[in-house]
Amino acid sequence: MTDCLFCRILKGEIPASIIYEDDHVVAFNDINPQAPLHALVVPRRHIASLNDLTPEDDALVGEMIRRAAALAKERGYADRGFRTVFNTNAEAGQTVFHIHLHVLGGRRFTWPPG
């Protein structure tokens, strides 16, 4: 997807602060962080939203979630707690249509979310 912001970041066309990468997933710091740790875990393959997932993506989504937990642990937030979020479509506030798992840590979060 040439017009997808995150595909462009993954191709290196737009700079990002990359904190992890492997063959399947990349993680980079959010440009507008909402907590001391606010990273986005993104699959290399373009998938627009959770509505587009198929059973073939199950392992990939598992890798994304485990990577988010590993990043939180690296920063010392595993025991304190951290938040993971997938926003899907308009009412949830999805603005980039390439799935990404937000991982936030380092402060107390409220529930229910805003």
Instruction: Give the active site residues.
Output: 100
Regarding 30 and contact with ligand 5GP (CB under 6 A), the answer is yes
Identity of the residue, 60 or 78, whose beta carbon is nearer to Zn ion in the bound complex: 60
Contact between residue 100 and residue 40 where contact means Cβ atoms under 8 Å apart: yes
For the segment 33-52, give every residue that binds ligand 5GP (CB under 6 A).
Answer: 40
Binding site for Zn ion (CB under 5 A): 1, 4, 6-7, 46, 98
Contact between residue 42 and residue 16 where contact means Cβ atoms under 8 Å apart: no
Q: How far is the CB of 28 from ligand 5GP (least distance, A)?
A: 5
Phi/psi at 85 (5° precision)? -140, 135
Handedness of CA 90, 91, 95, 96 (dihedral sign): negative
For the segment 69-108, give every residue that binds ligand 5GP (CB under 6 A).
Answer: 87, 93-96
User: What distance in Å separates the CA atoms of residue 33 and residue 39, rounded to the nearest whole number?
Assistant: 8
Stretch near ligand 5GP under the rule CB under 6 A, chosen from 26-34, 53-61, 64-72, 106-114: 26-34
Amino acid at 41: V
Identity of the residue, 84 or 87, whose beta carbon is nearer to ligand 5GP in the bound complex: 87
| DSSP assigned state of 110 | P
